[in-house]
Amino acid sequence: MLNRRNFLKLGAASAATGLAGTAVMTRAADMHAWGNQDFSPKTGRERKAVPSACYQCVTRCPNVTYVEDGRVVKIEGQINSIRSEGVMCAKGQGGVNQPNDPDRILYPLKRVGARGEGKWKQVSWDEALSELAARIQTLKDRGEPEKFMFHYGRMKSSTSKMVKTFLGSVGTATIGDHTSICEGGKWTAQELTWGGHYDTWDFDHTRFVLNFGSNVFEAGTNHVPTSHRLIRAMAERNVRMVTFDVRLSNTAAKSSEWVPVKPGTDLAVVLAMCNVVMSEDLYKGDGEAFLSFCKATGDNHAGTEEKVAALKAHFGQYTPEWAEKISGVEADTIRRVAREFALARPACAISYRGAVAHYNGNDTERALQTLAAITGNIDNPGGRCKAVGPKWHSPKGPKDLPKARKLAILDGPKGAAALPTHHMSHNVLKMIKEGSAGRPEIYMTYKYTPIYANGETQENIEILKDESLIPYFVVCSPFYDENAALADLILPEPTYTERWDWEDMVSPVQIPEFYIRQPAAKPLGETRDFGDVVCELAERLGTPLGYQTKEEFVRLSCEMTPEVAAVGGFEYMKQYGVYHDPKAEPLYFSYRKELKPEAYEKDSVVYDAETGVYWDWKKAHAESREAALEKGYTHTKKSYTGYVGQRIGDKVYSGFKPDKLNKSGYLEIYSGLVEEKGFPPLPTWTAIPEHEKMGPDDLIMTTFKVATQIHSRSVNCKYLTELYHKNPAWINPVEAAKRGIKDGDEIKVKSPIGEIITEAKVTPAINLGVIAISHHCGHWEYGRYASGNKAPGGRDDDPDLERIWWRDDNGMHPNWIIANSPDPINGQQRWMDTVVQVSKT
């Protein structure tokens, strides 16, 4: 019998004797990538597979979109992606419903009746853009371009580059984002500690995960790339995860241990863990070594011993017993988990809105950074790492533009937040109403629904309806959402399955991945990519951007980006969708890179003796070398933009490069910047004022997301909304019994802002003293699947509609009763602090 060896011998002999055959076939194209094939169940024909990218949530996973008869029929994960490894969450798969939603806006619409009355007429793009361009031109002519305010929700990568270039050409810097209602506070805390924001969680190499308020298995800013790795780590390597959360989320349920915690007291627990690490000398080893790269006292040049002494002294007050009284978490548990975390080596500390969307959220994140730092779990394999993403090169747009002007309405009322580096989007409408900092004459939103996404829904509606406050309101959206219903002009966008982009989300493996989004199907109706729209607007305003379309911008970017150009540029990306350098090594310990003298021994670089920072005063646009030296690094405006490196001892390191703030190159456990604003420089316990004044029958209301919906832009996807379409309020049986509430009862939830009526879900899966209501539901617009507003002439025999409305209830939006209130340091919207009274109706 032949074995493999015999076969091979025969093959070799055949080749040697020239009997291997004559080929009649040649390769016509590069061999196609393995996998990602799909076939029509009806015809058996292979479906067209388009490598593209998801845009349901900010994670933006590479995907493969299957097309049959010009229609998107299926979306699955891109198996060649090092980020998602072919995994796609329910939300991403449900995106298949986006392009075919019958309630899309297909043509530009102009308001005809009173604002919000619902009277519209279709207008041509020419008419729509003529009108908008004329209004912008008027503001430019008046020297008030800043009165054109652009406010975006989900805008990233190539779209962001193009739109911001356009806004720069107009001369407005009144550009609002939505980050403060998301996780902006977490980013500010990171900017204060290790500089450029974003933490990557290295689950592939970790041994233990400590989770404060992240629903990592259901949602999150890098959801699938992290969650599937975490599941794998837990299943294959028995990695333990301990989750502190007020609610038994699916993440908590899948954790090795769920520790219920009182809302807003995560900080106390983390401080107590720092106490355990310092008091039990668990910092020794990696943590102690890492302290060289930390600032832990007011003196930037303090030695490790001084730092240890300062930290021991500071955290000494936060004993586990002290934290137990505040958080409800037993001291023994705190002590045990802290030890486990410190000794796991490596261990990964993760967090999200559950921990940071509080009055004291800034210090909660700073405390977690500290805990990771003193245990040596920063930017290391298996720890909490600095983000690594692809660096796309792209066309720069017009040169010599005038300095942009800005209305001071982005950061909330003066003094409301000390360092709102990601603005205070939830206060923009309030600022417009108040008016002292001026008001925009054109208010334009892009993929953003301040009405629905912010707190104080009723006030948002009233402000946006008031033409004396906002004279002209333009909405760019594929769907008729709550915002669009109040607009003066609607510019319809294609869904993400019909558009171009290059993408740049960070990688969980510390190796950058380049990827693109390309249209799988022709855009429906007259919808136009907003990237194309800004190109035309710029032309009309006399400052062309230098490219005509988003496709051209993406193509040029592929050609300009060395890594992508080297493998075939745009054509390669269209064929494969993703690219990473197969020889690249994961980037860890980026702060340890030693700089060569030529990097900092330059005429334009000065040394700041106080901080130990070398910085390029020219790059930072300081007046002069003398002025730079006189004012110093910390107090020169935007000196961080010229940061070069950090001197530590006799060496200069790349350190923790600052962003948005004049932080040193240390990981700053001790923050002089915070101190200057009147807050404690080291992470310090601060109680939530409203929680201190709670009555005996009050509860704290928190919010959350589920695995099958994104915050507010997926409920029109009927597959997803069939799965989740109502959001009863979770309440503990003990709390329910006190109020005579039974499961399924109608209840009233009242806050200082107002009250809502909803349904009770009585469950022990929520902590005492808490009521939790998810986002996603209670839409009153956004089409039939989201709102329940079936058009009078809509199909009433759609079985999917029937499944969604089987109880005639599309839930209740909690934001009606949540105040638009900031963390006093970073401006983060405090989603989790609302004190409410709950009663049976």
Binding site for other proteins (CB under 8 A): 68-71, 99-107, 109, 112-113, 118-122, 479-480, 521-522, 524-526, 781-784, 787, 789, 791-795, 797-798, 800-801
50 touches 36 (CB < 8 A): no
Tell me which H or E stretch contains 489: strand 489-491
CA distance 139 to 142: 5
Q: Is the dihedral of CA 80, 83, 87, 91 positive or negative?
A: negative
Residue 86 or 783 with smaller CB distance to other proteins = 783
On the 0-12 / 13-18 / 19+ scale of CB atoms within 10 A, 453 is buried
Structure tokens, 374? 């003193």
In the complex, what is the shortest distance from the CB of residue 108 to other proteins, in angstroms, rounded to a whole number? 10
In the complex, what is the shortest distance from the CB of residue 37 to other proteins, in angstroms, rounded to a whole number? 20
Peptide bond into 145 cis (omega under 30): no
What does the DSSP assignment read for 317-373? Answer: T--HHHHHHHH---HHHHHHHHHHHHHHSSEEEEE-HHHHSSTTHHHHHHHHHHHHH
Compute φ and ψ for 614, nearest 5 degrees. Answer: -95, 130
Residue 694 or 791 with smaller CB distance to other proteins = 791
In the complex, what is the shortest distance from the CB of residue 445 to other proteins, in angstroms, rounded to a whole number? 17
In the complex, what is the shortest distance from the CB of residue 73 to other proteins, in angstroms, rounded to a whole number? 9
Residue 240 DSSP SS3 = strand
Q: How far is CA 160 from the centre of its chain?
A: 14
Residue 679 or 780 with smaller CB distance to other proteins = 780
Residue 297 or 787 with smaller CB distance to other proteins = 787
In the complex, what is the shortest distance from the CB of residue 71 to other proteins, in angstroms, rounded to a whole number? 5
Q: Return the residue matching tokens 């519209």.
A: 120
635 touches 661 (CB < 8 A): no
In the complex, what is the shortest distance from the CB of residue 158 to other proteins, in angstroms, rounded to a whole number? 24
In the complex, what is the shortest distance from the CB of residue 103 to other proteins, in angstroms, rounded to a whole number? 4
Q: Is the dihedral of CA 564, 565, 567, 570 positive or negative?
A: positive
In the complex, what is the shortest distance from the CB of residue 501 to other proteins, in angstroms, rounded to a whole number? 22
Sequence letter at residue 693: K
336 touches 364 (CB < 8 A): no
Residue 442 DSSP SS3 = strand
In the complex, what is the shortest distance from the CB of residue 533 to other proteins, in angstroms, rounded to a whole number? 15
Residue 404 DSSP SS3 = coil
Residue 42 or 693 with smaller CB distance to other proteins = 42
Residue 531 or 783 with smaller CB distance to other proteins = 783
Tell me which H or E stretch contains 303: none
CA distance 501 to 791: 34
Q: Is the dihedral of CA 228, 230, 231, 236 positive or negative?
A: positive
Sequence letter at residue 56: Q
Residue 157 or 477 with smaller CB distance to other proteins = 477
Residue 775 or 784 with smaller CB distance to other proteins = 784
CA distance 342 to 726: 41
Residue 11 or 118 with smaller CB distance to other proteins = 118
CA distance 772 to 760: 10
In the complex, what is the shortest distance from the CB of residue 184 to other proteins, in angstroms, rounded to a whole number? 31
Structure tokens, 246? 């007020």
What does the DSSP assignment read for 71-109? Answer: EEEEEEE-TT-TTTTT---HHHHHGGGSTT-TTB--S-E
Residue 112 or 734 with smaller CB distance to other proteins = 112
Residue 138 DSSP SS3 = helix
In the complex, what is the shortest distance from the CB of residue 91 to other proteins, in angstroms, rounded to a whole number? 19
Residue 467: CA count within 13 A, CB half-sphere:
8
In the complex, what is the shortest distance from the CB of residue 714 to other proteins, in angstroms, rounded to a whole number? 16
Residue 103 or 459 with smaller CB distance to other proteins = 103
Residue 180 DSSP SS3 = helix
In the complex, what is the shortest distance from the CB of residue 785 to other proteins, in angstroms, rounded to a whole number? 10
In the complex, what is the shortest distance from the CB of residue 153 to other proteins, in angstroms, rounded to a whole number? 19
In the complex, what is the shortest distance from the CB of residue 52 to other proteins, in angstroms, rounded to a whole number? 17
On the 0-12 / 13-18 / 19+ scale of CB atoms within 10 A, 455 is buried
In the complex, what is the shortest distance from the CB of residue 794 to other proteins, in angstroms, rounded to a whole number? 7
Instruction: Find, among 38, 36, 129, the residue nearest to 85 by Cα.
Output: 36
Those residues whose C-beta lies under 8 Å from the C-beta of residue 186, and which sit 6 or more positions away, are 197, 351, 352, 353, 356, 361, 365, 828
Sheet holding 489-491, edge to edge: 120-122, 109-111, 489-491, 472-476, 442-446, 148-152, 175-176
In the complex, what is the shortest distance from the CB of residue 50 to other proteins, in angstroms, rounded to a whole number? 16
Q: Within 10 A of 820 (CB to CB), how many other CB atoms are there?
A: 25
Residue 124 or 624 with smaller CB distance to other proteins = 124
Residue 649 or 794 with smaller CB distance to other proteins = 794
Residue 100 or 763 with smaller CB distance to other proteins = 100
CA distance 100 to 495: 9
Instruction: Find, among 304, 387, 301, 289, the residue nearest to 590 by Cα.
Output: 387
In the complex, what is the shortest distance from the CB of residue 793 to other proteins, in angstroms, rounded to a whole number? 3
